[in-house]
Amino acid sequence: MALTQVKTSGLADDAVTQDKVANDAIDLTEIKAGTDGNLITYDASGNPTVVATGNDGQVLTSQGTGNVPQFETLPASNNYSHPNHSGDVTSSGDGATTIANDAVTAAKTDLSIVQGDVIYGTGTDAWARLAKGTAAQVLAMNSGATAPEWADASGGLFTRGWYDKDSTELTVQGSDGETRVGGNSGADLSITLTPTSTNCRYLIQAQFHYRKHTSTGQWGWRVQRKLSGSWGSVGMMHPSYGEEWQEGTFRTVGTQTTIYHPNTTSELEFGLFCQVWSSHGIKIDCNASINPSSILILEIPDTTNFSGI
């Protein structure tokens, strides 16, 4: 006779083993009721047990091998275990996180930086990039007093200056024609510059140390400029307007000043020249070891407030 029913009283304790229960055969409703909030776990012997319900805000905490976990309240001073960091960004436990000095490079910002740029603030924790200006411009505040900008220099009469001198001795006579003063064929008394605009004027002051001897005659000296390979006048006295002097023993210094407007942005070279009129027998000794001749040039970029030039 087939066995179709087994009563509870007919089952011995521990008679229903794992092998006699089909997979997925026991539903949650068929498990013995427990306490609300308890968790099922296993004790050190491998027997099922429960973790008692914790309180609001507590977390399940391991008690180590062989012990049932428990719900516990974290210490108020360390709700989060902060890891230690090293390198450019450092921290220690719950201490402040610190960025090392000089650790934030331009590459780590959101600005594209190139040579000559200026970085300035546009607001709280906001940066902006000002591209480089042009030659001779200065950094100024804009009309709204909100940001820097590049602007042409203003407020001063002179923006650039040049000076050169030379004491190389030289004797000039009528047969020499107009002769450049200065050693190395005049190259040792030379100023080269490039105007920043066609509006630039130049205040030129020259000093010429000399001694006249051997008869009398007409002669003169002046500063000239070279543009595109040719020498030309800057407005100083032409040699044909020189003076007649008797032979002299003492050396003399002459000074000439002029305002020159080249009206170009091409490179200019300035030199000092002396000439004896060809039909006159006078000779001019130029310079001496302690008596150099010189040229001083000052640039005037804006003549708006400088009357007469």
Q: What is the DSSP letter of 189?
A: S
Domain end residue (candidates: 125, 151, 177):
151
Per DSSP, 85 falls in state B
Statement to judge: residues 142 and 213 lie in one domain: no
Report the number of distinct structural domains present in the chain.
2
Condensed to tens digits (0 to 9), the pLDDT of residues 29-65 reads 888 888 888 998 988 888 889 999 989 989 999 999 8
Are 184 and 226 contained in the same domain?
A: yes
CA angle at residue 142 from 137 to 146, to 5 degrees?
135
DSSP 32: P
Q: Give 274-285 as a DSSP string.
A: EEE-TT---EEE
Please indicate, yes or no, whether residues 210 and 287 belong to a single structural domain of this protein.
yes
C-alpha closest to that of 259 among 181, 187, 205: 205
- Does one domain contain both 203 and 296? yes
In sequence order, the 6+-apart residues with CB closer than 8 A to the CB of 136 are 152, 153, 159, 160, 196, 301
Are 122 and 200 part of one and the same domain? no
Residue 185 has which token pair? 């064929």
Count CB-CB contacts under 10 A for residue 216.
14
Domain that residue 199 falls in? 160-300
CA distances from 25 to 28, 40, 173 (A): 10, 19, 131
**In this structure, are 142 and 169 located in the same domain?**
no
Residue 210 falls inside a structural domain: yes
pLDDT at 117: 93
- For residues 146 and 211, state if they share a domain: no
Closest CA to 292 of 253, 259, 265: 253
**Within 10 Å of residue 187's Cβ, how many Cβ atoms?**
12
Let me know if residue 204 belongs to a domain. yes
How far is Cα 24 from Cα 309, in angstroms, rounded to an integer?
A: 107
How far is Cα 186 from Cα 148, in angstroms, rounded to an integer? 45
**Distance (Å, whole) CA 300 – CA 167:** 28
Residue 260: other Cβ atoms inside 10 A: 20
In whole angstroms, give the CA distance from residue 246 to residue 231.
31
pTM of the model: 0.52
Q: Residue 203, SS3?
A: strand
Does residue 118 belong to any structural domain of this protein? yes
251 lies in the same domain as 282:
yes
Same domain, 229 and 178: yes
Tell me if 189 sits within 8 A of 206, measured CB to CB.
no
C-alpha span between 246 and 243 (Å, rounded): 10
Phi, then psi, of 122 in degrees rounded to 5 = -110, -5
CATH number of the domain at 169, please: 2.60.120.1340
Cα 299 to its chain centre, rounded Å, is 27
Q: Give the Cα separation of 169 and 288 in Å (integer).
A: 5
Take residue 174 and report the two structure tokens written for it: 């009528």
What pLDDT tens digit does each residue of the chain (309 aa) get?
Answer: 566 677 777 778 877 787 888 888 888 788 888 888 899 898 888 888 999 998 998 999 999 988 989 999 887 665 556 677 777 777 776 667 888 887 877 777 777 888 999 999 888 778 889 999 998 888 999 989 999 999 887 666 788 999 999 999 999 998 999 999 999 989 999 999 999 899 899 999 999 998 887 677 888 899 999 999 999 999 887 655 455 544 455 678 889 999 999 999 999 999 999 999 888 888 899 998 788 999 999 998 876 656 665
d(CA 156, CA 158): 6
**What span, in angstroms and rounded, lies between the C-alpha atoms of 130 and 147?**
9
